[in-house]
Structure 1
Amino acid sequence: MHNVTAATRLLDVIPLFRDDLRVQLLATCTGSSPFQSGITELLASVGVPVLPWEQATGMPVELAISASLGGQLDAVDGKLVVLSHGVGYNKKLQTPDARRQTPDARRQTPDARRQTPDARRQTPDAPVFGLAPEWLLTDGAPIADAMVLSHPEQLGRLREACPQAVPTAVLAGDPCFDRILTARRYRERYRRALGVRRGQRLVLLNSTWNPTSLFGDGGREDVLPLLLPRLTEELPVDEYRLAAVLHPNIWHGHGHGQIRLWLDRARRAGLTLVDPLDGWRQALIASDLLLGDFGSVSYYAAALGIPVLLGAAPLDVLGASSPVAEFVRQAPLLDPFGPLLPQLDGVIREHRPLSGPAELTSSAPGRSAALLRELFYRLIGIPEPARPALLDPLPLPPHEPAPRTAPLRALAQVLDGADGPQVSLTRYADPRHEPHGPGEGQLAVPEDTLDPGVLALADVIFRHGPVHDPRLGRPQEWAAEVLAHHPSCTLAAYLTEPGSCTALHRDGTLFRLTADPAGADPAAHASALLAWLGSGRPVTPGLELTVRTGAGIDRVQVSAVLPGSADAALPGRRGGSAPAPC
């Protein structure tokens, strides 16, 4: 294993040896990448013996499988298969040194500016990693016994760049892509796992590992520092769900804690950071739009027919004749200085799938397991098992609703529609400026928000929690305490489960709100209730509010379980004393 990134492709093919007592798996690390973080934990999770590199190269093996050309692979005593750990070979990288380190081996632990020595743009004649003789030959002979390619297009470029390696080429499809194709039927499950609600669009941010990628080197041309806060500010939270898939080298080069610190504001506004090993493919399948760059994930998205908007698209780091370069030339580009919402809406609305990615990702969709297992066993020299060759299905990710603790600015319009009482609601997470649009403004703040000073300005304070939490007391007890502590707050809402909310108004009225759990966040229902009450309209028995949040429509049942009165009103905006908890 070169690093965690390369290991992910090896994890795809390990199951091809399942149930075969003739085969003993061993693992080793070439030590050719500076990104050693995470490898120990990953190998431990696989549960196979791990040998030091010197020991591994000092013993004969029937077959060695690598998903990288990094390291002294010519020292392996046995047949060698090399897999790609992305969508073929597309990026121009530096010529390897005598130790055959991959170009990122020169990258030291990133400093605060995230700069790396090879951050300069590549020259036009730089070799494409994985196709040039510098990577594939030792003393004029191929290093690998089999070089796995996913499409004949790669074979054509290999023939031009390194004809000596052509006899080792094997067309065997793409196991990563095959796992994605098989899992597409579970798209709605993956969306629910990510907390994507009815009427929401999932925007997936993705960055490869490169100084000119979306998550770049922190320089003046870096898009992400400008983009993230604007995305969370400009996209209505009930209409858009944000998640990010970052290249494993970003995580392991900078450190998980550092990444979370850099993206803290966006995370508090609702951005989910997706597991780079086990969750990125499911998030990709679930997405409505990918905002990415020239990496493999963007190309996989295009191959699936998902709209792609490129936030970073430097052609000079790509082989001019590579499929990814052609995709970058054709895909729509983000204007980071223009309004974001119209751009995202426009890309989705006007999307027409490109033919190239779907055709060139794999020449054998759904067949990589059979092709690769036949290759592996042929090189080992033993018959294949009789049972079919199968890859592992993608696991169902854990449920991760939006981890939002940022204040929410809401614009609410109360309407008397033909279908009954309606409230139109648009909410924004922690905008730096008051949002523009029709409706009365209000501020809804989670009780556990980062800046407790904002609670003093809140119209609505809300909290998620179980019905019975001994630390908080019953929902109505918590609500009474909140209103007592924050005299400017009008409504305290305790969100017990999806679609369910208990809200206490300052006039002493306790409300129960219930709706379809698949609908909007119950905090939106609380804001809609405040707008309804603020308009002077009563809560009559059996009231059903239609709450509109973009394309989402929720039917919210509202009942007053403890009517308020002048004597029962809580102190604060309307005076009085708190009611006894029911």
Structure 2
Amino acid sequence: MQDHRWVLNPVGRHGVPWLTRTGCKKVLVMMDQMVAGTRLLDLLPLLEVDHRVQVVFTMPEPPEFWRASHEFVEAQGGVVIPWSQARHLRFDLAIAAGQFGIDEVDAPVMLVPHGYGFGQYRLRPRVAGDDRKLVMNLDREHLMRDGRVRAEVVVLIHHAEREVLARTCPEALPHAVVAGNIAFDRLLASLEARERYRRALKATGRRKLVVISSTWTSQSAFGRHPDLFERIMDQLPPDDYQVVGLLHPNIWAHHGRRQVRAWLEGCLRAGLGLVPPEEGWRAALIAADVVVGDYGSVTGYAAGLGTPLLLAAEPDDAPLEGSPTEALLDTAWRWKPERALLPQLEELAASHTPDTYIEVRRRLTSRPGQAAAILRRTMYGLLGLTEPARPACASPVALPTLVS
């Protein structure tokens, strides 16, 4: 759905007479879908507080239009410029977490990953039969157009991704910056608030918090087990356990909030705490005593924190060699739905150690604690500005809220 209206804004020439702060560098945040947008919001505190910077948002139009993604962008409270207008303006920097539209903006583009990196993507059939190819965002198909690299900077979370890039698109190597993982760094920066997060999620007293996490598609935990939440909640005494659900933003966006809530209505009445798709998943992982999840990145982040977990679903295809997903699938205990849950949780607790998922943690970032500093330095270099004197730090995540 294209929006052909032009809006008065602080970056176009028609808005100049109305400016209160002039001479600002203009930054365009390109949110092509909700899940990518949540990662971009991790970066914005690194530059939007600067009085020399004006940030605006747009929504590049992919072939499939998701209303929920537009609602997410509008809810951020920033100036939102229609895509049809943004393509005709000049910016000093554009930040994107997806490839839609990055060829069409007049700006140096910094392309960042969401999930837990470009290297999480799997082997999938190219056509019917045995011919298979790597499908990820680090190949020429995604990174190049008309013989040139589409982004001025391609942000990687791990040096292993640079090795992948050397095979799949060596032309992009001069544009690659191994910055580490800002999402994981924010998790680590939030650990001290664990008890506050637990109270916000109603895990009070001696109650243990069980987090159920599902990525999207029919291969996910929620896709393979439509009664996943009911089966787990039916076996956990409510006086001893609080259950919180985390569903991938694309589930909410594609099926609709009303439908998702309707599917889980019985569980919500029974006390399920359901975290909205925009934010709250990190606070829930920090607060969790155990996670029941699948191969999605949220489960991988739980493993990186050292949280005991049960794997409820695996992908049909093999994960990329060397990826966090591969390490997770190699290590995690499997949930056995035919067995009683409480004995499984007891066995898991008895076998789990802080180092159980050390390999997952190693693969989540090769610059632990450094992402904020590297990302800010990179963005300010593209903007042609000196960095602020204050240190660049990953900020703790906010207290979570629950779907009512």
TM-score where L is the length of structure 2: 0.86
Q: How does 1:551-570 map to 2 (within 5 A)?
A: none
**Root mean square deviation, CA, Å:** 2.3
Aligned to 1:365: 368
Per-residue CA distance 1:164-221 (angstroms, 9 max, x = gap): 21111101111111111111011111111111132221110111122201121xxxxx
Per-residue CA distance 1:252-291 (angstroms, 9 max, x = gap): 1111110011112222222111122221111110001111
Measure, in 2, the Cα distance between the counterparts of 1:121 and 1:197. Answer: 52
Give the superposition deviation at 1:35.
5.5
Q: How does 1:509-528 map to 2 (within 5 A)?
A: none
Q: How does 1:45-64 map to 2 (within 5 A)?
A: 45-64=75-94
Greater helix share, structure number: 2
Aligned to 1:10: 40
* Aligned-partner residue type, residue 91 of structure 1: Y
Instruction: Flag the 1:140–1:12 CA change in 2: closer, same or farther, 3 A.
Output: same
Measure, in 1, the Cα distance between the counterparts of 2:265 and 2:380. Answer: 48
Measure, in 1, the Cα distance between the counterparts of 2:398 and 2:381. Answer: 30
Measure, in 2, the Cα distance between the counterparts of 1:40 and 1:140. Answer: 32
Instruction: Flag the 1:296–1:387 CA change in 2: closer, same or farther, 3 A.
Output: same
Q: How does 1:60-459 map to 2 (within 5 A)?
A: 60-69=90-99, 71-89=100-118, 90-92=120-122, 125-216=132-223, 222-225=224-227, 227-314=228-315, 316=317, 318-352=319-353, 353-398=356-401
* Aligned-partner residue type, residue 72 of structure 2: L
Per-residue CA distance 1:463-494 (angstroms, 9 max, x = gap): xxxxxxxxxxxxxxxxxxxxxxxxxxxxxxxx
Measure, in 2, the Cα distance between the counterparts of 1:385 and 1:121. Answer: 54
Instruction: Flag the 1:206–1:124 CA change in 2: closer, same or farther, 3 A.
Output: farther
Measure, in 1, the Cα distance between the counterparts of 2:252 and 2:55. Answer: 27
Give the superposition deviation at 1:145.
0.9
| C-alpha contact 1:142 1:165 (8 A) present in aligned 2 | yes
Instruction: Flag the 1:124–1:238 CA change in 2: closer, same or farther, 3 A.
Output: farther
* Aligned-partner residue type, residue 350 of structure 1: S
| C-alpha contact 1:3 1:33 (8 A) present in aligned 2 | no
Aligned to 1:474: none
| C-alpha contact 2:124 2:132 (8 A) present in aligned 1 | no
Measure, in 2, the Cα distance between the counterparts of 1:121 and 1:184. Answer: 46
* Aligned-partner residue type, residue 108 of structure 2: K
Give the superposition deviation at 1:396.
2.1
Give the superposition deviation at 1:24.
1.4
Measure, in 1, the Cα distance between the counterparts of 2:129 and 2:173. Answer: 26
| C-alpha contact 2:291 2:308 (8 A) present in aligned 1 | yes
Aligned to 2:14: none
| C-alpha contact 1:121 1:316 (8 A) present in aligned 2 | no
Q: How does 1:22-37 map to 2 (within 5 A)?
A: 22-32=52-62, 34=64, 36-37=66-67
Measure, in 1, the Cα distance between the counterparts of 2:321 and 2:131. Answer: 9
Counting aligned pairs with the same residue, the percent is: 40
Instruction: Flag the 1:263–1:358 CA change in 2: closer, same or farther, 3 A.
Output: same
Measure, in 2, the Cα distance between the counterparts of 1:224 and 1:45. Answer: 30
Measure, in 2, the Cα distance between the counterparts of 1:195 and 1:281. Answer: 16
Give the superposition deviation at 1:59.
1.9
| C-alpha contact 1:178 1:365 (8 A) present in aligned 2 | yes
Q: Secondary structure at the match of 1:25?
A: strand
Instruction: Flag the 1:317–1:276 CA change in 2: closer, same or farther, 3 A.
Output: farther
Per-residue CA distance 1:397-456 (angstroms, 9 max, x = gap): 35x6x99xxxxxxxxxxxxxxxxxxxxxxxxxxxxxxxxxxxxxxxxxxxxxxxxxxxxx
Measure, in 2, the Cα distance between the counterparts of 1:186 and 1:35. Answer: 37
Give the superposition deviation at 1:122.
10
* Aligned-partner residue type, residue 56 of structure 1: A
Give the superposition deviation at 1:94.
7.2
* Bigger radius of gyration: 1
Measure, in 1, the Cα distance between the counterparts of 2:60 and 2:183. Answer: 23
Give the superposition deviation at 1:124.
6.8
Give the superposition deviation at 1:48.
2.3
Give the superposition deviation at 1:327.
1.7
Measure, in 1, the Cα distance between the counterparts of 2:222 and 2:81. Answer: 34
Give the superposition deviation at 1:339.
1.6
Q: Secondary structure at the match of 1:205?
A: strand
Measure, in 2, the Cα distance between the counterparts of 1:122 and 1:237. Answer: 49
Q: Which blocks of at least 5 consecutive residues in structure 2 are unaligned?
A: 1-30
Measure, in 1, the Cα distance between the counterparts of 2:37 and 2:366. Answer: 23
* Aligned-partner residue type, residue 305 of structure 1: G
Per-residue CA distance 1:346-381 (angstroms, 9 max, x = gap): 112211322212212122222211111100010111
Instruction: Flag the 1:122–1:54 CA change in 2: closer, same or farther, 3 A.
Output: farther
Per-residue CA distance 1:121-154 (angstroms, 9 max, x = gap): 9977232321222111112321111111111111
Give the superposition deviation at 1:34.
3.3
Structure with more relative contact order (C-alpha pairs < 8 Å, separation 6 or more):
2
